[in-house]
A and B are shown apart, each in its own frame.
Chain A
Amino acid sequence: MPARKREFPWFPGVVLAALVLTAVFAAYLAPQSPTEGDITKKLIPPIWMERGDWEHPLGTDRFGRDVLSRIIYGSRISLLVSLIAIGVAGTFGTVLGLISGYRGGLIDVVLMRLTDIALSLPLILIAVVLVAVSEPSFGNVILVIALLLWPRFARQVRGETLAIKQQDFVALAVVAGRSSWWIMSRHIFPNVVPTLLVITTLQVGYVILLEGTLSFLGVGVPPPNPAWGLMIADGRGFLATAWWISLFPGLAMLLIVLAVNLMGDWLRDHLDPKLRQLGSRAPVLDAPGIEPVGRAAGEAPARGAAGGADGG
């Protein structure tokens, strides 16, 4: 198993490529409209069951909307929300982490206590409050998720920055007369990028789950958008009779989160400089005792499965 870690992970690669393609070409791929349903065709079961219908391979929901089409369009929401939220949180967290690590002193103390505070916020509660005072919207979902995510980036980047700061080339850049901003952006940041790539990937799965959770609770993406979490929530009342409404979006979520996490694990092994220096032929160290970065997200598939089982 260790020897195979370096090979490109085909399963997650294909799944993620399919996800991106599906999201981009949703309009062409979806057989039906994701939001308009024919109420006379409600609760049609999937194709292989009695009463199944080729028009709706994965069945319809209680408004007669095509489940497959909704899943296809739902991929857009999952992808968009996670990309934007991670983009916002990643940028913010990285900048703060760089400043905190490089400047040190009082700035570091203040920024790190801020991340501590952010990490201790009860996010679901905030999401509920936010929806209570305003309407559920894309903006709110992204805001809440970004609020939860940025400290993770800030912490990780700060740690890396502290290590890189000690290197001679940083001291030499100071001697060369460079400003702090220049050194941070040009000398430290590029060396943080591999780590950043790994945590970003590991967070994607987590964010997709989080968005699903928020939508399921009704504080995320507003209906009638075909968010997977919303679909699972929709089918909750029909589990005994029309289980497909919840099961398929749950499976989709499970598949994507699993793929993203596998990809993240591979990236981490691949980009870890300590492993990279061993050369491609050297045996990869299997360190069971070491808790890798983003373990929280690494556990996500289990939670995803639980979510799917919940729905199904």
Chain B
Amino acid sequence: MLVVDNLKTHFFTRRGIIRAVDGVSFTLHAGETLALVGESGSGKSVTCLSLVRLVPEPAGRIVGGRVLLEGDDLLRKSAAEMRRVRGKQIAMVLQDPMTSLNPALTIGSQVSEVLRLHQGLHGPPLRERVLEALRRLRISAAATRLGHYPHQFSGGMRQRVSSAIALSCAPRLLIADEPTTSLDVTIQAQYLDLLKEVQATAGVAVILVTHDFGIVAANADRVAVMYAGKIVEMGTTLQIFDNPRHPYTQALLRCLPDVGLRDRQLVEIGGQPPDLAQLGPGCPFAPRCPERQPICDESYPPPVLVEDGHEARCWVAAPAGARG
């Protein structure tokens, strides 16, 4: 349904060109959840912004690639055409529920806004749909809540309200950029379950940006690990957790606290993420990589097919059998 092909988004700064997204490709089917995982600055958020063409201009620009949503290349659309796609086909939930709602407008008017724009609803039918959208995300007493302002809601509720807005027009694709980061741990699971439930009934494809592998394990069908603007490993959630091939993925998974093992120390990945303005020809992870080889500094590894649907971009990531 969604095909992203060799997407490149660069930022042109005084320090040079920052390749925030550098040749990202993936596909996403209806109803599927793809988790984008990586450190801060790995290009997850910029990838998402590129999909809806909201890269902050003029510094940032999408310089290449294709984003096909049901066969239509979004990058070739005019501004007016893009407006019709946004909201109707693609919706977004952002990290901070405190600023994703307009403090000056009531919840009711904010939810109805999208429905009115994209479905042309008015009057009682509109109100019905608004209530339905809110109830679907378990906003209790929705009818009385319509007249309330965002500051009268808790963080978790606001995030549900913004999700209700995002999902109200039954989009094909939902981009959730760290939707639970600012929520309570107890609310996080509840919120994600809710999202999963709504997703299952509506058949929405979800891109879930996160750096929490717990969330990935519980919610994603497939995982794409990003590093320095590239997807370094991609596979089903099971494949990634059971058989991570890229040393970076392995390192990320090692960073997870293990509840069962008491004495195990938490591990960190040594070194810093690379400066995206000064990347050499080699693998950007090489300086931090425990399995570094001479070839790693010379050229960027091609994608290696580990098994069906599981790819890694690493010189040492040969399939388990072939590596001996």
Interface residues of A (CB under 8 A from B): 105, 167-169, 171-179, 186-187, 190-191, 193
Q: Other than A174-B54, A175-B92, A178-B113, give 4 A-B pairs with Cβ distance below 8 A.
A: A168-B95, A179-B83, A186-B113, A190-B105
The contact sample of 16 A-B pairs, CB cut-off 8 A, is A105-B58, A168-B99, A171-B54, A172-B166, A175-B91, A176-B91, A176-B165, A177-B83, A177-B86, A177-B87, A178-B117, A179-B83, A186-B113, A191-B102, A191-B103, A193-B104
**Residue of A whose beta carbon sits closest to that of B51:** A175
- How far apart sit A272 and B90, CA to CA, in the bound complex (Å)? 36
Partner of A175, one of B54, B103, B105: B54
Taking a contact as CB atoms under 8 Å apart, the answer to whether A172 and B100 are in contact is yes
Contact A190-B102, Cβ < 8 Å, known A172-B162, A175-B92: yes
Asked whether any CB of chain A lies closer than 8 Å to the CB of B195, the reply is no
Contact A169-B100, Cβ < 8 Å, known A175-B91, A177-B88: yes
> What are the residues of chain A within 8 A of B95 when measuring CB–CB?
168
> What are the residues of chain B within 8 A of A187 when measuring CB–CB?
102, 105
Please classify how large the interface on chain B is, using the bins under 10, 10 to 19, 20 to 34, 35 or more. 20 to 34
Taking a contact as CB atoms under 8 Å apart, the answer to whether A176 and B96 are in contact is no
Taking a contact as CB atoms under 8 Å apart, the answer to whether A176 and B86 are in contact is yes
> What are the residues of chain A within 8 A of B166 when measuring CB–CB?
172
- How far apart sit A300 and B83, CA to CA, in the bound complex (Å)? 48
**Residue of A whose beta carbon sits closest to that of B150:** A169
> What are the residues of chain A within 8 A of B54 when measuring CB–CB?
171, 174-175
> What are the residues of chain B within 8 A of A175 when measuring CB–CB?
52, 54, 86-87, 90-92
Q: Mark B109-123, 1 if CB is under 8 A from A, else 0.
A: 000011001100000
> What are the residues of chain B within 8 A of A179 when measuring CB–CB?
83
Q: Which of A169, A174, A176, A187 has the most CB of B within 10 A?
A: A176
Taking a contact as CB atoms under 8 Å apart, the answer to whether B90 and A169 are in contact is no
> What are the residues of chain A within 8 A of B162 when measuring CB–CB?
172
Partner of B96, one of A168, A173, A186, A190: A168
**Residue of A whose beta carbon sits closest to that of B52:** A175
Kindly provide the distance from the CB of A115 to the nearest chain B CB, expressed in whole angstroms: 23
Kindly provide the distance from the CB of B48 to the nearest chain A CB, expressed in whole angstroms: 10
Taking a contact as CB atoms under 8 Å apart, the answer to whether B165 and A172 are in contact is yes
Contact A177-B92, Cβ < 8 Å, known A169-B99, A187-B102: no
- How far apart sit A179 and B80, CA to CA, in the bound complex (Å)? 9
Asked whether any CB of chain A lies closer than 8 Å to the CB of B101, the reply is yes
Partner of B102, one of A169, A174, A193: A169
Kindly provide the distance from the CB of B97 to the nearest chain A CB, expressed in whole angstroms: 9
Asked whether any CB of chain A lies closer than 8 Å to the CB of B84, the reply is yes
- How far apart sit A105 and B105, CA to CA, in the bound complex (Å)? 28
Asked whether any CB of chain A lies closer than 8 Å to the CB of B94, the reply is yes
Closest 9 CB pairs of A and B: A190-B104, A177-B87, A176-B87, A168-B100, A177-B86, A168-B99, A175-B92, A177-B83, A167-B99
- How far apart sit A173 and B87, CA to CA, in the bound complex (Å)? 8
> What are the residues of chain A within 8 A of B118 when measuring CB–CB?
177
Q: Which of B49-97 contact A (CB under 8 A)?
A: 52, 54, 58, 83-88, 90-92, 94-96
**Residue of B whose beta carbon sits closest to that of A178:** B117
Q: Mark B158-174, 1 if CB is under 8 A from A, else 0.
A: 00001001100000000
> What are the residues of chain A within 8 A of B102 when measuring CB–CB?
169, 173, 187, 190-191
Taking a contact as CB atoms under 8 Å apart, the answer to whether A169 and B101 are in contact is yes
Taking a contact as CB atoms under 8 Å apart, the answer to whether B114 and A176 are in contact is yes
> What are the residues of chain B within 8 A of A193 when measuring CB–CB?
104
- How far apart sit A174 and B49, CA to CA, in the bound complex (Å)? 11
**Residue of A whose beta carbon sits closest to that of B85:** A177
Contact A174-B86, Cβ < 8 Å, known A105-B58, A168-B100, A169-B100: yes
